[in-house]
């Protein structure tokens, strides 16, 4: 196969720069208001066409049956929606911790949708791909659209925004958070009054918080410890339902200094905030 047919695309992480829970729907899902921003750090997905119609993904992820892998689910959803019968070899370089609140699985799915759309010459619009993505997970549409966004509903009603793009130090405190356990916790507050996007943006970083934090601290004291450690040094928050927490820094050197000081029991990395997804930058090149 010609090498030009091969694609190697980023699947970046996201941060929830703030997250409010404003209600609970009849189906148990929660109504959120959140600001999504991308990082220039994430997984990488390589894609190449196959002539035999097979979909193959390497490697297998620990704890995820291949049939459940969001990359293969995205590929199948795309074939069903379009009637396309083509196959692909997919290879994932996984860097993002699973269940970390960084949206890794959702981002992988979005990269698979946009990458295969290109590889197979399907020419589906971003609107169509975002709609398909929403059937795979609430966080998939923002990765498909590729712009930092104010999100409402369960995260699917998106308005593009431009946020400050500082450096972040992202810390994984080494515990796994089950998102459903956080959303099912009786003590979780679900009654933050809805605000306008303008008010959220005017308030700025000093006013931003994550409504999941008190519950996540109770369920996982290690995450509270990491937050307290970071907050002694820089403004810090929880992303999604955790486990990752992040500190905001103005300069790369400050981020590197913070990393150097970090207790070795935590995994951490430094990355820059991005208002345009690195996936979309790569597809434009």
Ligand X SMILES: Nc1ncnc2c1ncn2[C@@H]1O[C@H](COP(=O)(O)OP(=O)(O)OP(=O)(O)O)[C@@H](O)[C@H]1O
Ligand Y SMILES: C[C@](O)(CO)[C@H](O)COP(=O)(O)OP(=O)(O)OC[C@H]1O[C@@H](n2ccc(N)nc2=O)[C@H](O)[C@@H]1O
- Annotated binding-site members for ATP: 97-107
- Asked if 237 interacts with ligand X (CB under 6 A), we say no
Q: Is 68 a catalytic residue?
A: no
Instruction: Closer to ligand Y by CB, 84 or 134: give it.
Output: 134
Which residues sit at the interface with ligand Y, rule CB under 6 A? 16, 28-30, 32, 34, 101, 106, 137-139, 154-155, 179-180, 183, 240-241
Cis amide prior to 9 (ω within 30 degrees): no
| DSSP designation for 39 | E
Q: C-alpha angle with apex 118: 85 to 140, nearest 5 degrees?
A: 90
32-91: contacts with ligand X (CB under 6 A) = 61, 63-64, 68-71
Query: Smallest gap, in angstroms, from Cβ of residue 143 to ligand Y?
Result: 11
CA dihedral angle for residue 177, residue 179, residue 185, residue 190, rounded to 10 degrees? 130
For residues 131 and 224, what is the distance between their CA atoms, to the nearest angstrom? 36
Instruction: Closer to ligand X by CB, 183 or 205: give it.
Output: 183
Residue 204: left (phi > 0), alpha (psi -120 to 50), or beta? left
Q: How far is CA 8 from CA 31, 34, 147, in A?
A: 35, 30, 20
Q: C-alpha angle with apex 256: 251 to 261, nearest 5 degrees?
A: 130
Instruction: Closer to ligand X by CB, 12 or 166: give it.
Output: 12
Q: Which of 135, 159, 162, 179 binds ligand X (CB under 6 A)?
A: 179
Contact 102, 94 (CB under 8 A): no
Q: Which of 101, 133, 141, 224 binds ligand X (CB under 6 A)?
A: 101
220 burial (CB, 10 Å; 0-12 / 13-18 / 19+) is buried
Q: Which of 10, 12, 42, 99 binds ligand X (CB under 6 A)?
A: 99
240-259: contacts with ligand X (CB under 6 A) = 240-241
Query: Smallest gap, in angstroms, from Cβ of residue 35 to ligand Y?
Result: 10
| Nearest residue relative to ligand X (C-beta) | 105
Which residues of the chain form beta strands (DSSP E)?
A: 7-24, 30-50, 55-58, 87-93, 149-152, 157-160, 167-172, 236-238, 245-249, 267-274
Instruction: Closer to ligand Y by CB, 138 or 247: give it.
Output: 138
Q: Which of 100, 115, 224, 278 binds ligand X (CB under 6 A)?
A: 100
98 is in the binding site of which of ligand Y, ligand X, none (Cβ under 5 to 8 A by kind)?
Answer: ligand X
Active-site position among 43, 108, 139, 254: 139
Q: Is 139 a catalytic residue?
A: yes
Active site positions, annotated: 14, 139
């Amino acid at each position: 196969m010609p090498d030009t047919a091969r694609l190697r695309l980023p699947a970046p992480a996201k941060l929830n720069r703030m997250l409010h829970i404003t209600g609970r729907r009849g189906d148990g899902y929660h109504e959120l208001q959140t600001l999504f921003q991308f990082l220039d750090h994430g997984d990488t997905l390589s894609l190449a066409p196959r002539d035999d119609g097979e979909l193959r993904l390497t490697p297998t992820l620990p704890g995820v049956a291949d049939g459940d892998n969001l990359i293969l689910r995205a590929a199948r959803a795309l074939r069903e929606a379009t009637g396309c019968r083509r196959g692909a070899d997919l290879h994932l370089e996984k860097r993002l911790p699973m269940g970390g609140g960084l949206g890794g699985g959702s981002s992988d799915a979005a990269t698979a949708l946009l990458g295969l759309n290109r590889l197979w010459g399907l020419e589906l619009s971003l609107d169509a791909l975002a709609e398909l993505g929403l059937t795979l997970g609430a966080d998939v549409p923002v990765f498909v659209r590729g712009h930092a966004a104010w999100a409402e509903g369960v995260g699917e009603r998106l308005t593009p925004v431009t946020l400050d793009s500082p450096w972040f130090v992202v810390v994984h405190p080494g515990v796994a958070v089950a998102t459903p356990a956080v959303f099912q916790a009786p003590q979780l507050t679900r009654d933050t009054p809805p605000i306008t996007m303008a008010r959220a943006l005017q308030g700025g970083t000093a006013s931003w918080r994550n409504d999941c934090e008190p519950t996540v601290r109770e369920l996982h004291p290690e995450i509270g410890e990491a937050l307290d450690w970071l907050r002694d040094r820089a403004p810090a928050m929880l992303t999604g339902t955790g486990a990752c927490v992040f500190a905001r820094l103005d300069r790369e050197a400050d981020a590197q200094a913070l990393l150097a000081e970090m207790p070795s029991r935590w995994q951490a990395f430094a990355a820059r905030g991005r208002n345009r997804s690195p996936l979309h930058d790569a597809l434009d090149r």
